[in-house]
Amino acid sequence: MYATPHILTSCLIIVLIILVFPLLTTLSPHQRNSDWPLSQVKTSVKIAFFTSMVPLCLFLDEGAEVIVTSWTWMNTLTFDVNISFKFDMYSIIFTPVALYVTWSILEFTSWYMHTDPLVNRFFKYLLTFLIAMIILVTANNLFQLFIGWEGVGIMSFLLISWWYGRADANTAALQAVIYNRVGDIGLIFAMAWMAMNLNSWEMQQVFLTSEDLDLTFPLIGLIIAATGKSAQFGLHPWLPAAMEGPTPVSALLHSSTMVVAGIFLLIRMSPLMEKNPLALTICLCLGALTTVFTATCALTQNDIKKIVAFSTSSQLGLMMVAIGLNQPQLAFLHICTHAFFKAMLFLCSGSIIHHLWDQQDIRMMGGARFLCPTTTTCLGIGSLALTGTPFLAGFFSKDAILEALSNSHLNAWALILTLIATMFTAVYSLRLIIFVALGNPRTPRSIFQMNEVDPAITNPIKRLAWGSILAGLLITSNIIPLKTPEMTMPDEVKTAALMVTLLGFLLALDLGNLTGHQLKSTTQRPVHLFSNLLGFFPPIMHRLSPKLSLSFGQMVASQMTDQTWLEKTGPKAVTSINMSLVTTTSNAQQGLIKTYLALFLVTITLATLLISL
């Protein structure tokens, strides 16, 4: 009777122990051998993946979920902070997905970073990040979640600035930290509110005791936290800037795992959000705005990694839209499927970049299908999955979200924006394929061919390709939908997403055709610049707000306090008033006797007149 919870709990704790073990071995000063990354770290992640399949199968068979409270860490009279894990549907499914993706990425990294002198440290950072992420998704209270939250933030900072000799990498890491921190304000506010009003951070107690309260403020705090972590519009510039880190970092953190932490938080807290229409509307509109804005920016980028980064951002907006529709399970579904094909897209980009000897500009690429055919094929599979080609992984989640959006009674503007973004997805994906894979090579670097000889390149990509194809089908067949989907709708609504995507493809092909003709004598700069320069958001925000706060600070501190109050109205006022009187008094001495006698006369006159009064 008790076997299932025992097995579930034990397996998941064992997963954590397996992951932590290589980190513990790094505490000893004993030198590790050169294949420590491959033999220890990757193997531990692989074993952890297979171990986590056991709870997954148990869940699929019995629907078993477990909550483990293991230790009361801090307690005051009325408030306890525990270590408690929640292995419910979301974390039981997400953990194997994350481990599978990480396994592939680590294998790829062993080829990608093998010339780096500090490769052991790199693997250690990736492993630490993974542990923090697992802590985040399995947390049953907000404090533990916050530990994981901050952990992934810090590891993101360390990994983005891996090549710290590069100034751009350092500023990108700073951007990541600062934007994340701004989001953290929201999370801490929500935690404080809950500590004050609900007297606990345990999620079960939060859900129970918040039935009748007005939850607008903490929900807005949580939405701000998600905006920061998941790069929604307003706190989004750090995500494209984070492409300064090595490609494995981009694949793991900034596509599959870390950036979905914000969405995951909202999914966890979705019982709170259900009853608050304001929060749902905010999520909906914010998500729609994000997805269309970042898709617009992706259209004219020239760096292959930036295109994939903006694609990530756009999909994150779509997940936020799903939350705004009060469909957290669909958002979770998209998280899982998105992890596969986005990680694969990043790994393919990394492979192409290395094969072209560190060329990242797509205008200098071309003909990759000759250089690295496997990679190019998987690039195509990933792009098709991304655009929602029927029955690949992305279709199940993306189409479900768009159907739910079309059939809802909510914001039509959000619907239109999301459909436009879907079309743009097709456009930039096709642009990517055309520039990178088709045509002939435009860079001389391609003559030094590498030809994908190392299986460490192709095996991970192939594994993720299998995932991109099958994951959607597998997951949707095996979970129970928590909300009833709309089953009947007009044909046009049903095929809206597909039609829009096809339209996008056609538009892209047509636009590509136009590059051979010159229909205008000068180029259309403004729209292109808007898209290329990310909507001018980073230049404006990164310069305007520091300038405003610094000038305000200077005005208050030195002009208002020092100069005005402490000088001009204080000591210097005395000086200035008295100086005028002093000069008047001494200027009255002109050396004329007339002055003496005139003053005498005036005084006498005044005094005698005053007698009579």
Pick out residues in 561-580 that bind another protein (CB under 8 A): 578
For another protein (CB under 8 A), the number of binding residues is 23
Q: 395: which residues sit within 8 A by CB, 6+ positions away?
A: 385, 388, 389, 472
Smallest gap, in angstroms, from Cβ of residue 603 to another protein?
Answer: 6
Residues 6+ apart with CB under 8 A from 393: 337, 340, 341, 385, 467, 468, 469, 470, 471, 472, 473
- Which is closer to another protein, CB of 166 or CB of 572? 572
Instruction: Please pick, from the candidates 449, 554, 558, 583, the single residue that binds another protein as defined by CB under 8 A.
Output: 583
Identify the residue among 24, 514, 519, 607 touching another protein (CB under 8 A).
Answer: 607
* Min dist. Cβ of residue 570 to another protein (A): 16
Question: Residues 271, 276, 277, 279: is their CA dihedral positive or negative?
Answer: negative
Distance CA 361, CA 364 (A): 6
Least distance from another protein to the Cβ atom of residue 595, Å: 5
| Selected binder of another protein within 31, 78, 523, 608 (CB under 8 A) | 608
Query: Per the structure block, which two tokens stand in for 411?
Result: 């914001």
The DSSP output letter for 303 is B
Buried b (16+ CB within 10 A) or exposed e, 3-15: eebeebbebbeeb
The token pair at 19 is: 């992951």
Q: Is residue 195 packed enough to be buried (19+ CB in 10 Å), middle (13-18) or exposed (0-12)?
A: middle
The helix (run of H) or strand (run of E) holding residue 279 is helix 277-298
- Among residues 466 and 600, whose Cβ is nearest to another protein? 600
Question: Based on CB atoms, which residue is closest to another protein, 57 or 599?
Answer: 599
Q: How far is the CB of 589 from another protein (least distance, A)?
A: 6
Q: Which stretch binds another protein (CB under 8 A): 35-43, 222-230, 265-273, 584-592?
A: 584-592
Closest by CA position to 532, among listed 342, 254, 300: 300
Decide whether 555 or 597 has the Cβ nearer to another protein: 597
Residue 588: CB minimum distance to another protein, A: 6
Q: Does 72 bind another protein (CB under 8 A)?
A: no
Q: How far is the CB of 197 from another protein (least distance, A)?
A: 58
- Nearer Cβ to another protein (165/591): 591
Site for another protein in 586-605 (CB under 8 A): 586, 588-589, 591, 593, 595-597, 599-600, 602-604
Give min distance, CB of 572 to another protein, in A.
15
- In angstroms, the Cα distances linking 550 to 553, 558, 582 are 5, 12, 41
Q: Which residue's CB is nearer to another protein, number 185 or number 577?
A: 577
| Contact flag: residue 611 with another protein (CB under 8 A) | yes
The smaller minimum CB distance to another protein, of residues 547 and 572, is found at: 572
Residues 347 and 462 sit within 8 Å (Cβ to Cβ):
no
User: Are 560 and 323 in contact, with CB atoms under 8 Å apart?
Assistant: no
Q: In the complex with another protein, which residue's Cβ is closer, 477 or 608?
A: 608
Tokens of residue 223, six digits: 């939405």
Q: Is 582 in the site for another protein (CB under 8 A)?
A: yes
Cα separations in angstroms, 157 against 175, 176, 224, 256, 411 = 9, 7, 20, 16, 37
CB of 181 to another protein, least distance (A): 54
Q: Smaller CB distance to another protein: residue 513 or 586?
A: 586
φ and ψ at 321, to 5 degrees?
-60, -40
* Residue 599 CB, nearest approach to another protein (Å): 5
CA distance 121 to 41: 11
514 or 581: CB nearest another protein: 581
- Closest distance to another protein from the beta carbon of 581 (Å): 5
Checking phi first, is residue 81 left (phi over 0); if not, alpha (psi -120 to 50) or beta? beta
The contact set with another protein (CB under 8 A) reads 578, 581-586, 588-589, 591, 593, 595-597, 599-600, 602-604, 607-608, 610-611
